[in-house]
């Protein structure tokens, strides 16, 4: 059974939230290429959601476009999730490798991405009174993705449900820690740069005097 | 010699020409910046809708100078009533300001003579001709006729609903068509005190609300666990009482000096039930003052609204004393003009307290300069007003051409795009209307135009859509059958 290729496995996983990831695990399938593709789609979706929304619902400050927030919201957030999850799973004797966590998490995100893309398209067709359809679709996407993510984490580490929930909670804590350290690092490097630059200015003053 | 004279005369001519040009330029420019806000809320230069024409003192009117005047009112017959606070009198003048018509210092209350003590509000009921004066420090509102004969006194309500511990220092008064009297009193935050025409206390009207900000929620939490002594020291989460109001037909407009995060009730347009009708058109919670407040010494100075006045076309003039500016909006809350500023020159104010309008003029009372500044509508302002007139009568198509003229003067004028868009919407040219509403960022009207556009599109292309859907359905059905056959063949069935 289940002699299907990687692309077909994405469909199988998404529509079988309970045992899909277990099948993926025992068949040792899952393509890094597809996973990266999904993360790129995630990035595109976050831009589309922020920029291409129907005018009757949402107006963005469109005088300037800064790609960094969108990058942080999607790709960076996803990478931090993967790293934090991997770091935490080693403490819990989880089986997942970084590669597998990446692939499984990306697969689990698919319903959310697709649903929010659909609601972005719908926002150009529906008027304000019909907003409830879009909200419904968005909520379905989020709930579906959360269910898939639980199943994915359970399968990739071979955990019980309780342990999975504890892991996800700890992953969030670790993510906050990583983000904090990143910001700290950035500010410190900024300080160092300013320091070096002031030394440079000082020296140039002395030399030219 | 002749050549020299020629050169000199040419030079003189050039000099006169340049001085003339520069004087023309100075005549057109004001002592403050003329700006407006673009669709993103960024300040952009704009055309002046009104310019300051002159400042009038008490002496120019032929009486002693005003002393900290607190309020003024213009009645329908073109008379201005000024509450001259520290001189304890009400001054009546016509709008030429060359002679005072009457000064009320005493009132005859059936033989007893009443004097005023720091009067801070005056109102004239155009239907009955009665004058209402807020005799603030004497804790009463005097209703009298044109001769100063007192008809009724509105004193502190003897009612448990009002509360005995609350003071009664009325400082603004309004009367509606029914003769109900609305009084704003200091440190009363439950809204305007409402009396019927017989002086009976009816209740409060149009109270402000407390916005649920993080600070308010935190305070509510701390109050649960703190002692009474500690509770006294925390900031209290109570609504701010409104600072002024005006009445126009059945609507009462209130302004509130909002502080910090409590910005919801800056400007309200209340119907007789006390509901804010600006809610209905997406305008509630809009920043009616300066969107980006000026920053001095790193403290942002938020707009603080002191007075509101309704013009002939339903336009709302609101007075921001923090910046000395007048913000004019149309009846739906779209920005029209911003004028004025802080300072001592013509058209700027140090302590602006009251605003009134009459025809094409706006009057602003400054209580520390003790003057009334008169603003006159410009040609540009006139075009906008004319277009607004058509708009208010729902003659959108007639207003289109005027709005296009407005855009020739000022391409940033957001209200004009709304006007033109509405004209196209009215003519059912939805696609063009959509473009204009998008420029104006008017989501409310965009949504309406979009609904029309979508319905028209569906109606026009109904057969095509049905055919495409049918072809797609059949195509998918055939494809699936082919695919299934192919799969069965592969599996060897």
Checking if the pLDDT of B459 tops 50, the result is yes
Answer yes or no: is pLDDT of B156 > 80: yes
In the structure, what pLDDT confidence band is assigned to residue B20 with cuts at 50, 70 and 90?
very low
pLDDT at B6 over 50: yes
Q: Which residues of A touch B443 (CB under 8 A)?
A: 55-57, 59
Strand partners, B194: B182, B203
Neighboring chain B residues of A55 at a CB cutoff of 8 Å? 438, 443, 446, 450
| pLDDT attached to residue B82 | 92
| Domain assignments of chain B as residue spans, ordered by start | 44-377, 399-458, 461-493
Per-residue CA distances from B367 to B14, B71, B85, B349 (Å): 45, 9, 9, 9
- State residue B27's pLDDT score: 43
Please give the average per-residue pLDDT across A186-200, as a whole number: 95
pTM: 0.75
Whether residue B72 has pLDDT greater than 80 = yes
Please tell me which of the candidates A55, A57, A125 has its beta carbon nearest to residue B438: A55
For residue B123, the model assigns a pLDDT of: 92
Residue B24 has pLDDT above 50, yes or no: no
Q: Are B375 and B347 in contact (CB under 8 A)?
A: yes
- Gap between the Cα atoms of A76 and B414, Å rounded: 39
pLDDT of A176: 95
Q: Using an 8 Å CB-CB cutoff, list chain A residues near B436.
A: none
The pLDDT tens digits for B176-229 are: 888 889 998 887 878 888 888 888 888 888 777 776 777 777 777 777 777 777
Residue B288 confidence class, pLDDT cut points 50, 70, 90: confident
CB contact under 8 A, A57 and B443: yes
| Each residue's pLDDT tens digit, A60-100 | 777 788 899 999 999 999 999 999 999 999 888 888 899 99
| pLDDT for position A39 | 95
pLDDT at A145: 95
Quote the minimal CA–CA distance from B42 to chain A in Å. 10
Among A56, A61, A62, beta carbon nearest to B450: A56
State what percent of residues in chain B have pLDDT above 90: 21
Torsion angles phi and psi, residue A23, rounded to 5: -60, -45
Highest mean pLDDT among A193-197, B163-167, B245-249, B326-330: A193-197
Q: Which of A21-35, B108-122, B260-274 has the lowest mean pLDDT?
A: B260-274
Q: Which of B27-36, B304-313, B455-464 has the lowest mean pLDDT?
A: B27-36
pLDDT of B464 strictly over 80:
yes
> B446 in contact with A at a CB cutoff of 8 Å?
yes
The whole-number pLDDT of residue B19 equals 47
What is residue B293's predicted lDDT score, i.e. its pLDDT? 60
Q: Do B447 and A61 touch (CB under 8 A)?
A: no
pLDDT in tens, A154-179: 999 999 999 999 999 999 999 999 99
B6 CB within 8 Å of a chain A CB? no
- Inform me whether the pLDDT recorded for B237 exceeds 70: no
pLDDT at res. B22? 44
pLDDT in tens, B26-55: 444 678 888 888 777 788 888 888 999 889
Question: Would you call B446 and A55 a contact, using CB atoms and an 8 Å cutoff?
Answer: yes
Q: Choose the weakest-confidence range: A2-11, A35-44, A111-120, B387-396.
A: A2-11
At residue A142 the predicted structure's pLDDT band, cuts being 50, 70 and 90, is very high
Nearby residues of B293 by Cβ (< 8 Å), 6 or more positions away: B300, B301, B302, B303, B323
DSSP-derived secondary structure for B77-144? TSEEEEEETTTTEEEEEETT-SSEEEEE-EEEETTEEEE-SS--EEEE-TTT--EEEEEGGGTEEEEE
B258: left (phi over 0), alpha (psi -120 to 50) or beta: beta
Residues B75-131: tens digit of each pLDDT: 888 899 999 989 999 999 988 888 888 898 888 888 888 888 899 999 998 888 899
Residue B278 main-chain phi, psi, to 5 deg: -70, -15
Rounded mean pLDDT, B261-275: 76
Every domain of chain A and the residues it spans: 6-176
**pLDDT class of B280 with cuts at 50, 70, 90:** low
- To the nearest whole Å, the CA of B61 is away from the closest chain A CA by 51
Determine phi and psi for A196, rounding to 5 degrees.
Answer: -60, -40
- Distance CA(A193)–CA(A202), nearest Å, equals 14
DSSP tag of B298: T
pLDDT of residue B23: 41
Q: pLDDT at residue B17 above 60?
A: no
With beta carbons less than 8 A apart as the criterion, state whether B46 and B412 touch: yes
Classified as helix, coil or strand, B413 is coil
> Stretch B415-433: mean pLDDT, rounded?
90
* The pLDDT of residue A1 is above 80: no
Predicted confidence at residue B397, as pLDDT, reads 85
CA–CA separation, A22 and B305 (whole Å): 65
Complex prediction ipTM: 0.76
Task: Please name the fold of domain B44-377.
Answer: Neuraminidase (2.120.10)
Locate tokens 């005027």: which residue? Answer: B402
Q: Residue B193: beta bridge partners?
A: B183, B204
Q: Which residues of A touch B (CB under 8 A)?
A: 55-57, 59, 61-63, 125, 127-128
CA distance linking residue B361 with residue B94, whole number of Å:
13
Q: What is the mean pLDDT of chain B?
A: 82
């Amino acid at each position: 059974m289940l002699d299907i290729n990687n692309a077909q496995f994405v469909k199988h996983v998404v529509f079988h939230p309970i045992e899909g990831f277990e099948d993926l695990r025992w068949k040792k399938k899952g393509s890094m290429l597809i996973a990266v593709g999904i993360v790129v789609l995630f990035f595109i979706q976050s831009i589309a959601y922020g920029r291409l929304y129907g005018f009757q619902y949402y107006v963005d400050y469109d005088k300037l476009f800064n790609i960094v927030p969108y990058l942080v919201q999607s790709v960076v957030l996803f990478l931090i999730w993967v790293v934090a999850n991997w770091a935490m799973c080693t403490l819990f004797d989880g089986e997942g490798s970084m590669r597998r966590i990446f692939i499984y998490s990306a697969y689990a995100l698919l319903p959310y991405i697709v649903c929010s893309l659909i609601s972005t398209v719908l926002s150009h067709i529906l008027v304000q009174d019909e907003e409830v359809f879009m909200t419904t679709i968005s909520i379905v996407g989020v709930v579906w993705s959360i269910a898939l993510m639980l199943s994915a984490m359970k399968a990739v580490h071979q955990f019980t449900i309780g342990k999975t929930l504890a892991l996800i909670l700890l992953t969030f804590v670790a993510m906050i820690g990583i983000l904090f350290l990143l910001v700290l690092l950035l500010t410190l490097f900024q300080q160092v740069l300013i320091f070096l630059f002031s030394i440079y200015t000082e020296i140039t003053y002395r030399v030219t005097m | 010699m002749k050549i020299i004279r020629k050169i000199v005369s040419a030079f003189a001519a050039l000099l006169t020409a340049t001085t003339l040009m520069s004087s023309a330029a100075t005549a057109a420019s004001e002592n403050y910046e003329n700006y407006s806000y673009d669709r993103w809320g960024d300040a952009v230069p704009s055309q002046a809708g009104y310019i300051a024409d002159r400042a009038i003192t008490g002496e120019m009117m032929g009486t002693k100078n005003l002393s900290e005047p607190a309020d003024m009112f213009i009645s329908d017959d073109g008379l201005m009533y000024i509450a001259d606070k520290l001189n304890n009198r009400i001054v009546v003048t016509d709008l030429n300001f060359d002679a005072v018509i009457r000064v009320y210092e005493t009132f005859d209350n059936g033989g007893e003579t009443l004097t005023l003590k720091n009067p801070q509000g005056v109102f004239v009921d155009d239907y009955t001709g009665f004058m209402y004066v807020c005799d603030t420090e004497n804790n009463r509102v005097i209703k009298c006729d044109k001769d100063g004969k007192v008809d009724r006194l509105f004193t502190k309500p003897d009612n448990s609903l009002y509360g005995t511990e609350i003071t009664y220092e009325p400082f603004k008064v309004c009367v509606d068509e029914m003769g109900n009297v609305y009084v704003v009193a200091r440190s009363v935050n439950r809204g305007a005190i409402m009396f019927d025409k017989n002086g009976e206390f009816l209740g409060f009207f149009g109270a402000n609300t407390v916005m649920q900000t993080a600070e308010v929620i935190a305070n509510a939490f701390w109050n649960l666990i703190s002692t009474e002594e500690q509770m006294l020291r925390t900031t209290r989460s109570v609504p701010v009482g409104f600072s002024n109001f005006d009445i126009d037909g059945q609507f009462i407009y209130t302004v509130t000096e909002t502080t910090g995060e409590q910005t919801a009730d800056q400007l309200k347009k209340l119907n007789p039930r006390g509901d804010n009708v600006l809610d209905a058109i997406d305008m509630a919670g809009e920043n009616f003052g300066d969107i980006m407040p000026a920053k001095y010494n790193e403290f942002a100075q938020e707009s603080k609204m002191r007075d509101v006045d309704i013009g002939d076309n339903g336009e709302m003039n609101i007075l921001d004393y923090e910046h000395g500016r007048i913000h004019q909006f149309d009846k739906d809350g779209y920005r029209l003009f911003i004028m004025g500023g802080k300072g001592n020159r013509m058209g700027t104010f140090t302590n602006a307290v009251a605003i009134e309008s009459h025809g094409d003029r706006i009057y602003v009372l400054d209580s520390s300069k003790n003057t009334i500044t008169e603003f006159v509508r410009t040609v540009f302002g006139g075009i906008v007003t004319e277009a607004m007139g058509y708009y208010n009568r729902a003659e959108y198509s007639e207003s289109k051409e005027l709005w296009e003229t407005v855009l020739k003067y000022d391409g940033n004028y957001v209200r004009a795009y709304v006007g033109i868009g509405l004209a196209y919407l009215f003519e059912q040219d939805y696609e063009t209307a959509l473009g204009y509403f998008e420029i104006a960022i008017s989501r409310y009207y965009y949504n309406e135009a979009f609904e029309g556009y979508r319905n028209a599109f569906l109606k026009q292309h109904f057969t095509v859509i049905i055919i495409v859907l049918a072809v797609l359905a059949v195509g998918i059905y055939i494809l699936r059958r082919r695919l299934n056959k192919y799969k069965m063949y592969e599996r060897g069935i």
